[in-house]
Amino acid sequence: MPHTFDPQRSRTSLFDALVEAARTYGPKKPILEDQERKPLTYVDLIRASFALGRKIAAMTAQKERVGVLLPTSVGGAVTFFALHAFGRTPVMLNFTAGLRNLRAAVRLVGVTRVLTSHRFVEQGKLHDVIDALTETCQVTYLEDVRATIGLGDRLFALAASLAPQRFRVATSPDDPGVVLFTSGSFGAPRGVVLTQANLLANADQIAAHIDLDPDWVFFNPLPIFHCFGLTGGVILPLLTGMKAFEYPSPLHVKIIPALLRESGASVLLATDTFVNQYARSADADDLKGLKFVVCGAEKVRDETHDLILDRFGPIPLLEGYGATEASPVIAVNRPDDNRRGTVGGLLPGIEVRVEPVEGITRGGRLYVRGPNVMAGYIGENGVLEPPEGGWHDTGDVVEISEDNWITVLGRVKRFAKIGGEMVSLTAAETLAASLWPDARHAVIAQPDSRKGERLVLVTDRMDAEVGQLVAHAHAVGAGELAAPRKIVHVPEIPVLGSGKTDYVAIQRMVETEAKAA
């Protein structure tokens, strides 16, 4: 059975928690690996963190916010803990966010140095990103830093790994653990400060909710600039004794299924879109070692559940729910209690408040409070803006069962007022998905002179027609208003680096199409 959640366990620093995990599970245990297939043990990770961290410390100030522009990799994880070993705050930069958002991010947070890699920049063709960052930041390449690590540095790292708590810079659980940026699905990203205690609490809450086995391998292809990839794919496995296998991109749908088998993966972190693609390209035994898959960022479709079941047997797809501001996990299904259509049970230690929303008859707006909820947003003047009373407004409309299982009905801003009635855009997307399950769909609202607003379906189903959708709505008993009366066909639905649907880009597509019509 999972252990009982105790918020006191998170009252330490991230680096000390890593050291404690090494003591608990054995310093020689292989704990971190990537596609280079050169696994690190706990002691290797701690030693590498001291060696690299000492060099970074020489060019930065204590408590400085240092930009990290790296892929999901061993190097990314080592850099994260190297900064913590010397009391610096990692600022994880989203290299898919667009140049304007990146410039705004480093300016907002006060980043003056960014750590990256020549290899990553070359492979990712990120030269324009580097050009944008060098306008205000000094860019440091880790290959160049490692080339300067000499015998003295190695001897220091060796000594430090033998007595890590004597050599690391002491920090408080309430000190920043990371600065992340919200996904920007509906507008400009916001800077979020998560404390070390926030991150540790969320990892412990997950481990108290789902029984985790230290012999498992956690396979993480999600970006570490996204909280799901960082907390779920790096911090959680490393602190609970599970080997973390880091992979730089979820988009490699032909490579990842075979690598799941070769790496002995037990748990996969993904999104519905990617799981669906992996299942279609995988051989019959590629996924057989998986105990379960944890899906976040978007709704898991019945079609994906059924595809996994039909092709690979009963591998549970555990849909979860979270927010960057909550470190991020708020709720998640369990392997032994996996309820389709819900985002799972509320994690222990989280308080919830559901407030009615005018015009919406089902559910209410969800507020959450707990040890995993952020220190606050970074305001325009650089001052921290904590959530009022500790409550974070998720902006989501939910229903909560008596046993605290959550169903998300949609975002408050994802409701349209049509003829005086509030209509869920998420429900409209679900309606389209039930008719055309093999396609991807997004619904937005546009102003309408007669009814206030109207729904527009954007889909990669090129033969989708309004008449079919309206007929389907009647057949399944859905409200007629939930059927969009305009369809825009696109070759591909745009997504953000986090895997979420990019509604800003979709809105732009619809506006462009309207102007051209």
The tens digit of pLDDT for each residue in 432-479 reads 888 898 888 988 888 777 777 788 899 989 988 888 888 887 787 777
Residue in the structure block whose two tokens are 């003591």:
23
Helix (H) or strand (E) holding 224: none
Tell me the C-alpha distance between 304 and 278, whole Å. Answer: 10
Tell whether 65 is covered by a domain.
Answer: yes
Q: Which of 129, 154, 187 represents a domain boundary (last residue)? A: 187
Q: Which two tokens stand for residue 219?
A: 């396979």
Per-residue model confidence (pLDDT) at position 83: 98
Instruction: Give just the sign of the alpha carbon dihedral 99, 101, 107, 110.
Output: negative
Q: How many domains does the chain have?
A: 2
Burial letters for 25-41: b for 16+ Cβ neighbours within 10 Å, e otherwise?
A: bebebebbbbeeeebbb
Per-residue model confidence (pLDDT) at position 431: 85
Tell me the C-alpha distance between 139 and 431, whole Å. Answer: 47
Residue 228 contacts residue 208 (beta carbons within 8 Å): no
pTM of the entire predicted model: 0.87
Long-range own/partner contacts, residues 138-142 (CB < 8 A, 24 or more apart): 138/112, 138/113, 138/114, 139/113, 139/114, 140/56, 140/59, 140/113, 140/114, 140/115, 140/116, 141/116, 141/117, 142/52, 142/70, 142/75, 142/79, 142/115, 142/116, 142/117
Per-residue model confidence (pLDDT) at position 188: 65
Tell whether 142 is covered by a domain.
Answer: yes
Question: Averaged in consecutive runs of 10 residues, what is the pLDDT profile of the chain (517 residues)?
Answer: 82 96 97 95 97 96 96 97 97 90 90 96 94 93 94 91 92 96 68 97 97 97 95 97 96 94 96 92 91 92 91 94 96 96 96 89 92 93 90 94 93 73 79 85 80 84 86 77 84 77 81 72
Q: Which residues pair with 267 in a beta bridge?
A: 218, 292
Distance of CA 295 to the CA centre of its chain: 10
Tell me the C-alpha distance between 432 and 62, whole Å. Answer: 52
Tell whether 331 is covered by a domain.
Answer: no
CA 292 vs CA 30, 329, 511: distances in Å: 22, 17, 40
Residue in the structure block whose two tokens are 């855009």:
425
Tell whether 385 is covered by a domain.
Answer: no
What mean pLDDT value characterizes the chain? 91
Extended beta strands in 4-126, E state: 30-34, 40-41, 65-68, 89-92, 113-116
State the CATH number of the domain containing residue 70: 3.40.50.980
Per-residue model confidence (pLDDT) at position 468: 86
Neighbouring C-alpha atoms within 13 Å toward the C-beta of 311? 19
The tens digit of pLDDT for each residue in 371-397 reads 999 999 998 778 899 999 999 999 899
Tell whether 321 is covered by a domain.
Answer: no
Percent pLDDT > 90 in the chain is 67
Tell me the C-alpha distance between 467 and 399, whole Å. Answer: 31
Per-residue model confidence (pLDDT) at position 399: 95
- The domain of 30 spans 12-187
Tell whether 108 is covered by a domain.
Answer: yes
Q: Which of 132, 161, 187 represents a domain boundary (last residue)? A: 187
Q: Which residues contact 260 (CB under 8 A, 6 or more apart)?
A: 219, 268, 278, 282, 286, 287, 289, 290
Q: Which of 187, 205, 231 represents a domain boundary (last residue)? A: 187
State the CATH number of the domain containing residue 423: 3.30.300.30
Per-residue model confidence (pLDDT) at position 498: 62
Per-residue model confidence (pLDDT) at position 244: 98
